[in-house]
Structure 1
């Protein structure tokens, strides 16, 4: 026979819910996550010189600097409150991350405006 008991009368469950285990949020999990992020970054840009070039271009791009700032302080609740330059990124805002000076959209690199023509030319070179 089942009998309803309010949560406050379930003493063990109530106590455990108020004292979460610190082991769930240990440094090993954080380190594993960081290792995975850097593994993705190494796949996206394998050469250090290219990574430095993209990081410098990202740091010089006003739109990407704005996005990095928004990532730090948080996105506004509504798109209407978003700065005009950041609106194109609104639909992917939950996938954006900054790693080692680079802006990532999931596992893809956000290419700074100053390097877009060069990247497009490199992509098209592969078709010949």
Structure 2
């Protein structure tokens, strides 16, 4: 008979400026009160900000964009010692090279998508819906892309 372990997790939204302690769950390898789960079925939930259509559209744009392809190559193959060895289009990424990643053929800076120029105007327009103002739109853009 398989033993079923149930854990209840409650999530509360807090602004970044209110987070004083690092998230303990991101560093917890297992719960200390119970033995680690073995041979149990776990359900993993992922949250996507973009619909699958927009993800596919973003992936296609990344594959077509020359700068994105050069950036992908740098992430996969390694960076040169100095930014002077890079093309001008890749130099802005040199200072954040340790935060760049590729996931499912998408470019990420931390948890944010890197958008090719062909899609930037569309997504800034999406963020500006409801007319929150320039400062609020820029803040939203920095948080998400």
Coarse TM-score class (shorter-chain normalised): 0.5 to 0.7
Q: Distance in 2 between matches of 1:120 and 1:84?
A: 24
Indicate whether 1:67 and 2:67 are aligned.
Answer: no
Q: Deviations over 1:45-66 (max 9, x none)?
A: 3x11110000000101110100
Tell me the residue number matched to 1:43.
Answer: 48
Q: Is the 8 A contact 1:57 1:112 kept in 2?
A: yes
Cα displacement (A) at 1:44: 3.8
TM-score normalised according to structure 2 size: 0.56
Counterpart for residue 93 of structure 2: 89
More helix by share: 1
Task: Give the match for residue 77 of structure 1.
Answer: 81
Pairwise CA distance, 1:96: 0.5
Task: Please tell me whether Structure 1 or Structure 2 has the larger radius of gyration of its CA atoms.
Answer: 1
RMSD: 1.9
Question: In structure 2, the residue corresponding to 1:58 is in which secondary structure?
Answer: helix
Residue aligning to 1:114: 118
Q: TM-score by structure 1 length?
A: 0.64
